[in-house]
Structure 1
Amino acid sequence: MSRAERLLQLLQVLGRYRRPVSGQILADELGVSIRTLYRDIGSLQAQGAMIEGEPGIGYVMKPGFMLPPIMFRSEELDALVLGMRWVADRGDKALSAGALSTLAKIAAVLPAELCRELQESSLLVGAPLTRPAHTISPDLLRAAVRAEQKLEITYVDRSGIQSRRVVWPFALVYFDQARVLMCWCELRTGFRNFRSDRILSVEQKPERYPRRRSILLREWRKFNQVASRTILPESDSISH
């Protein structure tokens, strides 16, 4: 266990106690010497953790103290770096910039040891085989999902057949080779998925759709649980 992980675990252990707990009990629970425990508590106090107490009396964390978001275990840091690198590489311009900015902000406030671990992470993202062209800005699609706004789209399916539909977009799914807009389709009166690279045009409707996107997502999940018990054409999963 790295020192950063040990300090994080100490904060988590202290957070479980409402009354002062002896240093020896804390040391035993963490599997460290009492000398290491005292040194770790001093380090946390120097970094701003609201820990009160002293040897022979015990230690307690003041009520209301929240675990700093800048503390991560190695696995959490790996997940963060890999996820942000994936978005930076696979996302559109706005998301890519957001991912890089997020990593920079986190690195700026991390303790030195964790900052080095973040910068030296060996988890990399491989280049995709293809990058399909998109006519429609993903910013527009994301904004419609957030605003629960109806869209009128012109869509071409894998057979080259075009259709005009009014849809209620409630999620945007990112795959390596495609982005898929999940919607309720007024034309089909049912859930349909549309590859964003096959959307030829989009017109934003002035009105919001009549249901919350969280409800639509919940109903879509129930629908998929039923649909998964039947045999569906492969194309149904991505390009209705």
Structure 2
Amino acid sequence: MSRAERLLELIQLLRRYRRPVRGETLAIELGVSIRSLYRDIATLRAQGATIEGEPGLGYVLRPGFMLPPLMFSEEEIEALVLGSRWVAERADGHLALAARNALTKIVAVLPSDLRDEAGASSLLVGPGEQLATGDQEIATIRKAIRAEQKLLISYVDAKSGVTERVVWPIALAFFDHCRVVAAWCETRRDFRHFRTDRIKTIKGLDVRYTRRRVVLLKEWRAAEGIPEQ
């Protein structure tokens, strides 16, 4: 384990403890000497981490500290590159551009060795099918989800029947062959799933739904048997 990876692991350990934890305990979990642990804590403090405590009393990490990108491991870099490439190929144009821009910003501040690793990553995204839903429709859905606002949609079901519904969108799933909106449907008074390629028309209502999205998302996960992430 490199020192950068060890510092990252130390931060993760400290985040798991809400009360002060003894240095000896941390050293044992990291597999390092107590002297090395003290040096690592000093390094993290110099980088801006608010680690309170001292030898013999224990240490606790106060919230708010974010590690710089140089602390990413090689596998984490690969995950970021692969994820960004997938979004760039499979998501709508706005989100694809955001993914490319985010990856560019991350790579720009990496140490040279990790920057080379990111540029030469062999994890690729294969070509996918062009989906029918336009970028503007997907952008409207994503905006409504972020703002917790209702949508008025005209939806074509599997039997070609058309219905008009007011829905509360809570999640958007990207599959290789389609995109699906999970939403509370005011017509059905229950959660429903809508394929975006079957949405004939869509309009943002600029009206917030009456319950918080995080609560609805939790209820939807429970109803679908999807574990919390």
- So what's the TM-score if we normalise by structure 2? 0.74
List aligned pairs for 1:75-224, cutoff 5 A: 75-128=75-128, 130-135=129-134, 137-224=137-224
Distance 1:29 1:178, change over 3 A: same
Which amino acid is 1:193 matched to? Answer: H
Residue among 29, 39, 45 paired with 2:31: 29
Q: Which runs of 4+ in 1 moved over 2 A?
A: 5-8, 10-21, 28-31, 48-51, 63-69
Which of 1 and 2 has greater Rg? 1
Q: CA deviation at 1:183?
A: 0.7
Hey, what's the Cα distance between the residues in 2 that align with 1:20 and 1:182?
A: 46
Give aligned-pair identity as a percent: 42
Post-superposition CA distance 1:73-108 (Å, at most 9, x none): 122111111101100111111111001101110011
SS, match of residue 211 in structure 2: coil
Hey, what's the Cα distance between the residues in 1 that align with 2:168 and 2:216?
A: 9
- So what's the TM-score if we normalise by structure 1? 0.71
Q: Is the 8 A contact 1:10 1:30 kept in 2?
A: no
Q: Is the 8 A contact 1:154 1:162 kept in 2?
A: yes
Hey, what's the Cα distance between the residues in 2 that align with 1:50 and 1:209?
A: 40
Q: Is the 8 A contact 1:84 1:103 kept in 2?
A: yes
Which amino acid is 2:219 matched to? Answer: E
Q: Is the 8 A contact 2:148 2:209 kept in 1?
A: yes
Hey, what's the Cα distance between the residues in 2 that align with 1:116 and 1:137?
A: 37
Which amino acid is 2:121 matched to? Answer: S
Distance 1:13 1:114, change over 3 A: same
RMSD after superposition: 3.5
Distance 1:11 1:131, change over 3 A: closer
Aligned to 1:235: none
Post-superposition CA distance 1:38-92 (Å, at most 9, x none): xxx7xx97xx7479xxxxxxxxx9x879462311112211111110110011111
The alignment covers a number of residue pairs equal to: 203
**Gaps (5+ residues) in structure 2?**
15-19, 50-58
Distance 1:30 1:194, change over 3 A: same
**Gaps (5+ residues) in structure 1?**
52-60, 227-240
